[in-house]
């Protein structure tokens, strides 16, 4: 017999086993499409942890830059406030000496 169904010919429920094997093959193909065809989905490299770590690193850098700019701005405001509160220097003329030449 050269029939492809020969292994199932001697099985009492050959049609049921044939349908189950076809169903299993379809599930495997669907899983390969969903999870990619690069091996088993458990063996696939995980990229999400790297993406999350990259987003966290970018957020930390942006927060550091924002804090530095806030400190600089506050320092500038404090310097301007200090200069405003400081009284202007009094204009003085040299005193004439009465013991003079």
For 64, 78, 81, 83, the CA distances from 86, given in Å and listed in that order, are 33, 12, 9, 5
Supply the pTM of this predicted model: 0.43
pLDDT of residue 63: 98
Q: What is the pLDDT along the chain (101 residues), one digit of tens a residue?
A: 455 555 555 667 888 888 899 999 999 888 877 776 655 556 656 788 888 999 999 999 999 999 999 999 999 999 999 998 887 777 777 766 666 55
Residue 98 token pair: 């009465």
How crowded is the C-beta side of 97, counted as CA atoms within 13 Å?
Answer: 3
For 5, 10, 12, 14, 95, the CA distances from 1, given in Å and listed in that order, are 9, 12, 18, 16, 131
């Amino acid at each position: 017999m050269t029939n492809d169904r020969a292994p199932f010919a001697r099985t009492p429920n050959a049609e049921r086993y044939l349908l189950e094997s076809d169903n299993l093959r379809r599930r495997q193909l669907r899983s390969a499409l969903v999870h990619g065809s690069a091996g088993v989905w458990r063996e696939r490299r995980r990229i999400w942890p790297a993406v999350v770590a990259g987003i966290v690193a970018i957020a930390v850098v942006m927060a550091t830059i924002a804090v530095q700019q806030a400190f600089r701005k506050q320092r500038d405001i404090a310097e301007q406030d200090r200069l405003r509160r400081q009284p202007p220097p009094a204009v003085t003329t040299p005193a004439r000496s009465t013991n003079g030449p």
